[in-house]
């Protein structure tokens, strides 16, 4: 397993436009893999993904009996001449994928960081590496990728696009992500739904540490009802799961939760039970909403996770 | 409760602050740590809050308790009983000390005895104090007060206590408390105190009553008993029957083992010319009777000792017991009858023949049977032979004696009082008159179960058979418990007298009843002797020719002799009254002496004088000492001997528990309790329990911590 969180290179000296979280040399091996989906997608341009729409060109797939109103240009005249019956030729259209990365930019994503100002080792950093790499792979695959950063509401939104310039812009946005405040994922989702003109794939990366999961699930249901495919990466830091080693701690919340003094020996087990309950409820809620759920531990290498994620997606 | 190292409690009190300080000041310094899931942490803390708080206080309590217990253990607590009366003399108190002086107070080991502890404690109670008056009563078989009233002369009382010695006698607590009560009743002071110093033997003090003591008296039981480490004692020496010259007799020595281990006892018997060593294993808390057959060659008194060999127990004074026994000449029977000797068969003939056979059987070891026969049953005619010519006998048999003269009746009554037996075969109305005269002469000494009355007119006494027989014990037991009735079934009686239950007699003295509910036979005590009445006309009955007649008559004769002395044992310190042999008539010729053992104080051997009521010399001795053998000599020959020792109950050293004394025997009164043991060293094992409790507390703390983590 490669290093979980790679050291952040200050690349501004050589290429000021390149993100600190972009590691092209490590991603070269993954560029042949596609971020794909098993569902039919709705794209703007021709691409490698099966479109929902059956076009007049492309790969022939089937015949259908003509019915009044059908485009006469797709009528198989030869067959009509041979048989006397009218059939339409159906072709499978292929189009590009529109993927929107929704990143949780709330304060809780700083978990694991060295300080509020130094996010090294945090969930945020892991997410930044992952999102940068994934967006790169999507663009390399000639698909469109957009970005939506959410705190209390949408902080930044970049509609999906497939150009390299757009990718660089997106990388810059990811690099400059500064998490703070509370999470209101439901509001951000609702706002994104309003702003998105076309359907696509919504990839959400969050720790889902929200006051209530009900509105979030409700928002996901709305996306699903509009034909969106939702992929959820639930980020969990090891400290959240098991609490740090040691006994006496003064825990400080990242989202204005205040401070708690406690001795972990007394409550570690009860906490773990509580947290496992939370993980279970998140998973149950999201899966029931039709999301493709992945729980990710941020102590794992983002490249390994990305590889297995892409393999799973393309399977 | 007192403490040996009181300073440790002070240190403990300061140290109590340590766990509190540790609890509040040494909480670990928390490390600041950012955590996104604080809300889950809060929920977990809330969930465990009550449990954690309880755990915290429990641990604080346990730690504090451990420190307190450790401090108390280091302080060495001494647990002492609540005392109603302070050990040392108290000002203006009126104090009576009752000190047990019985034999059991000599029990002890390693030089420390119950008595020495009692003396030490008593002198402490008699320490001089302003206005303190005291009295001392020694509780033996009789109470002995130093002064008969309270005295301020405490020095004299202390001296008397130190001079006193325990006696080989029992303790009579009731009598001692009566004396103490009399002394206390005279006192008007507000502060009355009664202190009883004793080993509180269960056998002596188990029936203690404090009702005599004035209610305003503070009572304290002061136990001086040593821990019971077992005692082995000779509790009794006796003979199965009265020793007769030339006849073997079984000597029985009872040895009691009051210890909790089995012992092998060796008992040496020394009866001057006859010495034996008896050996036996005795189970714990039980007694065993060792027996040995002995034959005496000469008549007269024998004395000696039964002593346990190499017996190192807590009470040596009961390891030996004196023996005094009289060896008598062979049994002689005098048949008094008006019937002609030549008249055969006759009632007296049957009786004489049967007695001769019975006594011959008794003396089977004697080679010269014919000579014995001639001597054992002699016969006199009450009207022909003068009374003074009547030979002396052990058993008198009256059969058809006719109306006896008053002198003869008096002589027979006197003989019975002194232990002789009388068999009366009643068949005529004159016999009823004679019996009534006996009853008048003997007074309370003779209370027959039935009165003889003439047969009811027109109700001839014939074809009578045995309806009821006492076969479990007595002469009929020789026939067997279940066989007596069937064997007596063919026996028929005729004649005799009717009977009716007397007012004062006890019905269980009746040995057999006839079919008309009249008594056939009864056996009644008369002084030291016995009288048996056979209510049957043997001439008109078929019983003399039945096989059951001889064994029953033989057993009846033995019963008549059974009451005779089998050795003269007496309890030292308790009155001894002995009716001396008829041969002794002159007081001046008698001289008392100590054969062996403790001599009496001031040479007081009691009094011996003629008693008209007894018709004999009587030796009465109010307080014989003991253990010892004492003889009354006439012309340098022992006429009587008595061996004195303490009662066997003095050997059982088991003491009454404190709870029994202070709760059950106190009769609802609040009494104090002290013991020599707690006075000297207190109960000094409490510290170990405190250490154990401290360790338990520490274990409890660890358990609480572990439990909280679960």
Same domain, B611 and B513: no
Residue of B535, B525, B513, B536 lying closest to B560 (CA atoms): B525
Q: Which residues of A touch B (CB under 8 A)?
A: 107-111, 113, 116, 207, 209, 237, 239-240, 243-244, 246-255, 257-258, 260-263, 265-267, 269-271, 273-275, 278
Instruction: Quote the minimal CA–CA distance from B698 to chain A in Å.
Output: 20
Mean pLDDT, residues B191-219 taken together: 87
Residue B87 within any structural domain of the chain:
no
Same domain, A75 and A202: no
What is the sign of the dihedral through the CA atoms of B467, B471, B474 and B475? Answer: positive
Residue A176 within any structural domain of the chain:
yes
pLDDT at A192: 92
pLDDT of residue B227 exceeding 50: yes
CA distances from A292 to A99, A312, B176 (A): 14, 11, 105
Residue B32 within any structural domain of the chain:
no
Lowest mean pLDDT across A199-208, A292-301, B46-55, B492-501:
B46-55
Mean pLDDT, residues B613-630 taken together: 85
Instruction: Quote the minimal CA–CA distance from B704 to chain A in Å.
Output: 12
Same domain, A74 and A143: no
CB B33 within 8 A of CB A107: no
What's the pLDDT tens digit per position in B485-498?
Answer: 889 889 998 888 88
CB B581 within 8 A of CB B418: yes
SS3 of B24, please?
helix
Instruction: Label residue B367 by pLDDT band (50, 70, 90).
Output: very low
Question: How far is it, in rounded angstroms, from Cα A161 to Cα B572?
Answer: 131
The domain in which residue B64 lies consists of 2-26+38-79+686-709
CB contact under 8 A, A271 and B52: no
The domain in which residue A108 lies consists of 24-39+97-314
Same domain, B422 and B518: yes
How many domains is chain B partitioned into structurally?
Answer: 5
Same domain, A81 and A151: no
Lowest mean pLDDT across A183-192, B22-31, B494-503:
B22-31
SS3 of B181, please?
helix
Q: Which of A109, A110, A260 has its CB closest to that of B38?
A: A260
Residue to substitute from B41, B53, B59, interface A, most A β-carbons within 10 A: B41
Same domain, B177 and B220: yes
Mean pLDDT, residues B61-90 taken together: 75
Q: Which of B28, B41, B708 has its CB closest to that of A260?
A: B41
CB contact under 8 A, A250 and B27: no
Chain A hits for B42, Cβ within 8 Å: 257, 260
Same domain, B194 and B113: yes
Same domain, A31 and A81: no
Chain B hits for A247, Cβ within 8 Å: 28
Same domain, B171 and B202: yes
Residue B84 within any structural domain of the chain:
no
Same domain, B455 and B558: yes
Instruction: Quote the minimal CA–CA distance from B695 to chain A in Å.
Output: 24
pLDDT at A286: 93
CB contact under 8 A, A271 and B44: yes
Give the count of alpha carbons within 13 A of B352, CB side only.
24
Instruction: Label residue B610 by pLDDT band (50, 70, 90).
Output: confident
The chain B residue lying nearest A108, using CA atoms, is B36
Same domain, B665 and B619: no
Residue B31 within any structural domain of the chain:
no
Residue B122 within any structural domain of the chain:
yes
CATH for B444: 3.40.50.880
Asked which of B329, B345, B362 is the last residue of a domain, the reply is: B329
pLDDT at A294: 93
Instruction: Quote the minimal CA–CA distance from B710 to chain A in Å.
Output: 8
pLDDT of residue B228 exceeding 80: no
* Residue predicted with more confidence, B35 or A6: B35
Same domain, B200 and B124: yes
CATH for B100: 3.40.50.410
Residue B33 within any structural domain of the chain:
no
Residue to substitute from B38, B47, B52, interface A, most A β-carbons within 10 A: B38
What's the pLDDT tens digit per position in B142-169?
Answer: 999 998 888 889 899 999 999 999 999 9
Lowest mean pLDDT across A136-140, B49-53, B303-307:
B49-53
Residue A286 within any structural domain of the chain:
yes
Residue to substitute from A115, A182, A271, interface B, most B β-carbons within 10 A: A271
Same domain, A135 and A190: yes
Chain B hits for A209, Cβ within 8 Å: 36-37
pLDDT of residue B1 exceeding 70: no
Q: Which of B31, B36, B48 has its CB closest to that of A246?
A: B31
Same domain, A73 and A121: no
Residue A12 within any structural domain of the chain:
no
pLDDT at B372: 42
Same domain, A284 and A310: yes
Residue A19 within any structural domain of the chain:
no
Same domain, B198 and B101: yes
Backbone dihedral angles phi then psi of residue B194, each to the nearest 5 degrees = -125, 120
Same domain, A82 and A101: no
Token representation of residue B200: 């509180």
CATH for A112: 3.40.50.410
* Residue predicted with more confidence, A73 or B160: B160
CB contact under 8 A, A278 and B43: no
Lowest mean pLDDT across A65-74, A196-205, B129-138, B580-589:
B580-589
pLDDT of residue A10 exceeding 60: no
Question: How far is it, in rounded angstroms, from Cα B15 to Cα B305?
Answer: 68
Residue B88 within any structural domain of the chain:
no
Same domain, A120 and A267: yes
Q: Best-predicted range by mean pLDDT among A281-295, B305-319, B575-589?
A: A281-295
Query: Residues with Cβ < 8 Å from A16, sequence gap 6 or more?
Result: none
Long-range CB contacts (< 8 A, 24+ apart) of B659-667?
B661/B200, B661/B205, B661/B208, B661/B221, B661/B223, B662/B221, B665/B205, B665/B206, B665/B208, B665/B209, B665/B210, B666/B210, B666/B219, B667/B209, B667/B210, B667/B211
Instruction: Label residue B100 by pLDDT band (50, 70, 90).
Output: very high
Which residues, listed in sequence order, are joined to residue B301 by a DSSP beta bridge? B326
Chain A hits for B47, Cβ within 8 Å: 270
Residue to substitute from B31, B36, B39, B54, interface A, most A β-carbons within 10 A: B36
**Residue carrying structure tokens 């755990």:** B55
How many domains is chain A partitioned into structurally?
Answer: 2
pLDDT of residue B373 exceeding 90: no
* Residue predicted with more confidence, B679 or B262: B262
Residue B520 within any structural domain of the chain:
yes
Q: How many residues does chain B have?
A: 710
CB B528 within 8 A of CB B582: no
Same domain, A88 and A202: no
Residue A10 within any structural domain of the chain:
no
CB contact under 8 A, A251 and B44: no
Residue A82 within any structural domain of the chain:
yes
CB contact under 8 A, B45 and A267: yes
Same domain, B49 and B159: no
Asked which of B329, B347, B363 is the last residue of a domain, the reply is: B329
What's the pLDDT tens digit per position in A105-119?
Answer: 888 888 888 776 677
CB contact under 8 A, A249 and B33: yes
Token representation of residue B618: 């009587």
Instruction: Quote the minimal CA–CA distance from A240 to chain B in Å.
Output: 6
Same domain, B359 and B443: yes
CB contact under 8 A, B52 and A266: yes
Token representation of residue B597: 């053992």
Q: Which of A110, A240, A262 has its CB closest to that of B37?
A: A240
Instruction: Label residue B88 by pLDDT band (50, 70, 90).
Output: low
CB contact under 8 A, B31 and A248: yes
Chain B hits for A124, Cβ within 8 Å: none
Chain B hits for A111, Cβ within 8 Å: 34-37
Same domain, A268 and A298: yes
Question: How far is it, in rounded angstroms, from Cα B135 to Cα B117?
Answer: 19
What's the pLDDT tens digit per position in A75-97?
Answer: 889 888 999 899 988 877 666 77
Mean pLDDT, residues B697-710 taken together: 77
Same domain, B193 and B218: yes
CATH for B308: 2.60.40.10
* Residue predicted with more confidence, B93 or B693: B693
pLDDT of residue B520 exceeding 50: yes
Question: How far is it, in rounded angstroms, from Cα B206 to Cα B211?
Answer: 15
Average pLDDT over chain B, rounded to an integer: 84
N-to-C CA span, chain A: 22
Same domain, A81 and A186: no
What's the pLDDT tens digit per position in B553-578?
Answer: 988 888 887 655 545 678 988 888 88
């Amino acid at each position: 397993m490669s290093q979980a969180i790679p050291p952040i290179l200050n690349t501004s000296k050589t290429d000021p436009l390149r993100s600190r979280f972009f590691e092209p040399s490590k991603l070269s091996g993954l560029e042949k893999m596609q971020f794909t989906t098993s569902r039919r997608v709705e794209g703007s341009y021709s691409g490698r993904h099966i479109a929902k729409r059956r076009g007049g060109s492309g790969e022939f797939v089937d015949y259908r009996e003509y019915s009044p109103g059908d485009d006469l240009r797709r009528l198989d005249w030869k067959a009509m001449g041979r048989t006397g019956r009218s059939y339409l030729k159906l072709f499978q259209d292929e189009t590009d994928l529109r993927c929107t990365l929704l990143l949780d930019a709330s304060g809780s994503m700083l978990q694991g960081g060295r300080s509020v100002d130094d996010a090294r080792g945090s969930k945020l950093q892991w997410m930044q590496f992952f999102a940068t790499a994934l967006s790169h792979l999507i663009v390399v695959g000639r698909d469109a990728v957009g970005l939506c950063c959410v705190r209390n509401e949408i902080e930044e939104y970049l509609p999906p696009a497939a150009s390299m310039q757009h990718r660089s812009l997106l990388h810059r946005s990811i690099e400059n992500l500064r998490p703070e405040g509370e999470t209101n994922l439901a509001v951000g989702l609702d706002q994104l739904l309003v702003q998105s003109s076309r359907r696509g794939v919504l990839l959400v990366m969050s720790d889902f540490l929200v006051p209530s999961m009900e509105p979030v699930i409700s928002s996901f249901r709305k996306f699903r009802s509009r034909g969106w495919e939702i992929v959820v990466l639930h980020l969990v830091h090891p400290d959240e799961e098991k609490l740090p080693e040691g006994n006496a701690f003064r825990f400080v919340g990242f989202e204005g939760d205040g401070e708690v003094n406690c001795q972990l020996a007394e409550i570690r087990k009860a906490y773990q039970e509580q947290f496992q309950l939370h993980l279970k409820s998140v998973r149950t809620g999201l899966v029931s909403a039709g999301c493709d759920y992945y729980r990710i531990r941020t102590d794992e290498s983002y490249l390994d996770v990305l590889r297995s994620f892409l393999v799973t997606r393309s399977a | 409760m007192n403490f040996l190292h009181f300073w440790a409690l002070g240190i403990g009190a300061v140290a109590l602050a340590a766990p509190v300080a540790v609890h509040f000041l040494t909480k670990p310094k928390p490390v600041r740590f950012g955590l996104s899931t604080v809300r889950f942490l809060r929920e977990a803390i809330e969930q465990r809050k009550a449990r954690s708080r309880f755990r915290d206080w429990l641990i604080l309590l346990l730690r504090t308790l451990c420190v307190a217990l450790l401090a108390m253990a280091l302080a060495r607590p001494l647990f002492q009983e609540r005392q109603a009366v302070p050990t040392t003399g108290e000002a203006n108190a009126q104090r009576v000390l009752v000190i047990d002086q019985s034999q059991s107070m000599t029990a002890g080991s390693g030089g420390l005895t119950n008595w020495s502890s009692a003396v030490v404690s008593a002198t402490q109670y008699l320490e001089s104090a302003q206005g303190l008056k005291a009295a001392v009563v020694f509780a033996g078989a009789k109470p002995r007060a130093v002064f008969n009233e309270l005295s301020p002369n405490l020095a004299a009382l202390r001296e008397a206590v130190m001079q006193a010695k325990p006696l080989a006698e029992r303790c009579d607590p009731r009598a001692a408390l009566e004396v103490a009560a009399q002394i206390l009743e005279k006192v008007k002071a507000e502060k009355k105190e009664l202190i009883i110093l004793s080993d509180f033997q269960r056998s002596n003090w188990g029936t203690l009553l404090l009702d005599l003591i004035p209610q305003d008296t503070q009572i304290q039981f002061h136990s001086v008993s040593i821990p019971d480490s077992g005692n082995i004692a000779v509790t009794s020496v006796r003979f199965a029957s009265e020793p007769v010259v030339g006849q073997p007799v079984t000597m029985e020595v009872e040895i009691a083992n009051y210890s909790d281990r089995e012992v092998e006892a060796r008992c040496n018997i020394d009866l001057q010319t006859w010495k034996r060593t008896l050996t036996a294993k005795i189970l714990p808390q039980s007694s065993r009777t060792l027996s040995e057959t002995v034959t005496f060659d000469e008549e007269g008194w024998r004395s000696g000792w039964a002593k346990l060999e190499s017996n190192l127990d807590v009470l040596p004074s009961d390891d030996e017991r004196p023996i005094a026994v009289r060896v008598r000449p062979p049994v002689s029977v005098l048949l008094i009858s008006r019937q002609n000797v030549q008249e055969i068969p006759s009632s007296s003939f049957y009786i004489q023949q049967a007695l001769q056979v019975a006594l011959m059987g008794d003396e089977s070891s004697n080679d010269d049977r014919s000579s014995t026969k001639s001597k054992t049953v002699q016969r006199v005619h009450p009207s022909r032979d003068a009374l003074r010519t009547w030979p002396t006998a052990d058993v008198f048999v009256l059969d058809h004696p006719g109306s006896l003269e008053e002198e003869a009746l008096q002589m027979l009554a006197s003989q019975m009082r002194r232990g002789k037996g009388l068999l009366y075969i009643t068949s005529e109305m004159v016999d009823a008159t004679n019996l009534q005269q006996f009853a008048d002469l003997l007074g309370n000494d003779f209370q027959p179960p039935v009165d003889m009355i003439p047969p009811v007119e027109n109700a001839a006494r014939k074809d009578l058979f045995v309806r009821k027989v006492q076969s479990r014990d007595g002469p009929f037991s020789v026939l067997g418990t279940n066989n007596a009735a069937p064997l007596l079934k063919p026996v028929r009686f005729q004649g005799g007298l009717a009977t009716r239950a007397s007012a004062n007699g006890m019905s269980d003295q009746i040995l057999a009843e006839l079919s008309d509910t009249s008594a056939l036979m009864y056996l009644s005590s008369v002084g030291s002797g016995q009288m048996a009445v056979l209510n049957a006309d043997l001439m008109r009955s078929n019983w003399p020719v039945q096989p059951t007649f001889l064994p029953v008559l033989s057993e009846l004769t033995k019963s008549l002799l059974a009451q005779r002395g089998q050795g003269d044992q007496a309890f030292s310190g308790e009155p001894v009254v002995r009716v001396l042999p008829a041969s002794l008539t002159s007081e001046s010729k008698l001289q008392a002496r100590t054969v062996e053992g403790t001599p009496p104080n001031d040479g007081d051997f009691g009094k011996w004088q003629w008693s008209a009521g007894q018709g004999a010399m009587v030796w009465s001795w109010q307080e014989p000492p003991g253990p010892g053998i004492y003889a009354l000599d006439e012309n340098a020959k022992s006429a009587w001997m008595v061996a004195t020792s303490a009662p066997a109950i003095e050997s059982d050293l088991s003491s009454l528990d404190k709870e029994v004394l202070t709760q059950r025997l106190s009769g609802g009164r609040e009494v104090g309790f002290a013991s020599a043991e707690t006075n000297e060293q207190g109960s000094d094992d409490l510290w170990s329990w405190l250490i154990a409790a401290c360790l338990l507390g520490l274990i409890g703390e660890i358990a609480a911590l572990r439990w909280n983590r679960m």
